[in-house]
Amino acid sequence: MKKIEAIIRPSKLEEVKEALNRFGIQGLTVSQVFGCGLQKGYTQVYRGAEYNINLLPKVKIELVVPAEKVDELVKLIADTAREGRIGDGKIFILPVEDALRIRTGERGNGAI
């Protein structure tokens, strides 16, 4: 099993969720996060004072999937979230040792 963490633009969340749903992914976790990278933020003027905003709002999608589906899902997420501009996001892939469905006690792939 692998855990996929995708950090994307908030405006792309619905498109990515729909694409994952069409692929057959039913379980995922979505968090609102803030971060910075190459985009480096922006400058905003409020009441005459200039503010540097360097932590930008992003969305983090987390899902655990069987290892054999990782490449397809990473491509699906990247293709759906891509706008071709700095700030499109990143995808991280991590190994998952085990999973347990609390309700039934299922373990491994059966729990996801």
User: What confidence tens digit (pLDDT) does each residue in 31-72 have?
Assistant: 999 888 776 666 777 777 777 777 889 999 999 999 999 999
Residue-level pLDDT at 37: 78
* pLDDT for the residue numbered 32: 97
The pLDDT of residue 74 is: 98
Instruction: Provide the percentage of residues in the chain whose pLDDT is more than 90.
Output: 71
| Amino acid 49: pLDDT | 77
Per domain, the residue ranges of the chain are 2-110
- Alpha-carbon dihedral of residues 44, 50, 52, 58, nearest 10 degrees? -30
pLDDT tens by residue, 65-100: 999 999 999 999 999 999 999 889 999 999 999 999
CATH 3.30.70.120 corresponds to the domain 2-110: yes
pLDDT for res 95 = 97
Residues 52 and 19: their CA atoms lie apart, in Å, by 35
